[in-house]
Structure 1
Amino acid sequence: MSHTGPSGFSSAGDVSAVPVTDDPPTAAGSSVLVASDLDRTLIYSSAALLLGMPDARAPRLMCVEVNDGRPLSYMTEDAAVLLPDLMARTVFVPTTTRTRKQYRRIRLPGPRPPYAICANGGHLLVDGDTDHDWNAAVRERLAADCAPLAEVSEHLQRTAHPDWTRKIRIAEDLFTYLVVARDLVPELWVKELTGWAGERGWSVSAQGSKIYLVPRPLTKSAAVAEVARRAGTTLTLTAGDSLLDTDLLLAGDQSWRPGHGELADQGWTSARVTALDELGVAAGERILREMLLRI
């Protein structure tokens, strides 16, 4: 399902900047694995679409997620042409902190990826089905290496103030997050929470209206390494925008991050990570172009 985004944006991209073939090579047997974060990296909510972009340059959009009859997430129409070509040339792996239910709402253009990583690496989907052995191994590692979810959740219930906390959610019984009025959240509280969580083997990541608390051993990179082992790939390209993506970016042979997000705000980069200038939905399109040029 796709349709033009809000306001009837005019086209602003040039797909010809990267050749898209009529008969691209199949991904079967590809030596290249592409593992990319989704939200605010390849797809964007209405609030994050046009960061820093003048109205006159706003691109045409394709809706890639609907929930309860409401369009939620978009990519540019040009990106929607580039992505299937990338999928045909690589083992493309959506790599997200979303739960499996939230991920399955997304309808990316092109064929369904053979693998997907959800819950920040806690779940590995193979041809759309959950690999329960992988999840069991992850849970064993978390039980041994960090404080239990119940302790962290109880701390949030006690310390998150109702004036700025809208919801507290548990994701797949693996981690927790808050939906907040971000402008009202005291920075001191976030700093204290980060210190408290760090002592217990957990990480804190603030992304838009959400504040995530995720066990440090729960990583996207571990799941990506498992997919690379199964698929027999030898080159890994990655992309992401948040603190929860740092291990993913460092695991790539070449990686990209947008000009927005937690990592951009902190000026974070590394030798094999390209920090793009583009913001919002334009960054997602640029990442796809860069990956196609790389392969």
Structure 2
Amino acid sequence: MRKLFVALCAALLAALGAMAAGPADAAPGQSQERLPEDYNFFAGIPYELSHPGGDLPGANDWNCKPSPEHPRPVVLVHGTGGAKTTNWGAYVPMLRNRGYCVYALTYGALPGLPWPFTAIGGMDRQDISAKQLSRFVDKVRASSGAETVDLVGHSQGTYMPTYYLKHLGGKGKVTKYVSIAPLWRGTGGGDPTMTAIGEAIGAVPMPFCVGCGGMLPGSPMHKKIWSGGSPYVKGVDYTNISTRYDELVVPYTSGQVPGRTGEKVKNIVVQDTCAQDYSDHLAIAGSRRTAYMVLNALDPENPVKVPCEFVPPFTG
């Protein structure tokens, strides 16, 4: 049964990779002046299939030194079921082409399992994942010489890092915190029934996704994320980017929490500036529109024009 499940997961990755297949990537360690940019949520899957466990070209260059124009490294934090390759095929080349030192980790992959499970992250307890993020950020800071980093997260990657900031010493190590499809109030936030369910089963390990219950409102993890009465940390510059068509963060306004006095928070809904944007939970992390909004959140002094263009669901 286990061999069959492994084979099915590999086949699924292969099928998604075929959908996203584009220009061939450079081999590991091969330099190129400009990386091809492919705004598609599945753009990173072909590389994972051909280089299992590898780093996307342009990512995790431990010799990269931040420039005066972009003085902080960017750390990409994937969502549930994602990985450093599969979640960020659109973002690594975009950021590297613009002069950023860009890093990505796979956190929360269940231990002791073979590939492709090593490329299915966000499955373990979120406190364990946060410790992995903490070690990774410290490695990035040490290699780059930067005092702080900027975080860009998707889905669970917008939520779990708060545990790192609030409970593992991350405060003071992060300057900007950009969230794509955030779920600050949890999925089902605002619904008393969902809160009651979260309180009842939020700490119960779920099959294959041990820590997913932590994203329910009322769960022990959710209460730790909201310790102090807010999901935010003063001194960090937050940008939340949501879509009205999010089918996993319900309601989407769970990610549009305003900041309190002393908290710097900007909330964006992609449809507010373009009705042709039909991003769902996956597509929002692959679309050019959202990617350019992320660029502007990271470097508001040098904004790029965000196009209004048709964005299909699923792929972006």
TM-score, normalising length from structure 1?
0.36
TM-score when scaled to structure 2? Answer: 0.35
Which structure has the highest strand share of the two? Answer: 1
Q: Comparing both chains, which one has the higher relative contact order based on Cα–Cα distances under 8 Å and sequence gaps of 6 or more?
A: 1
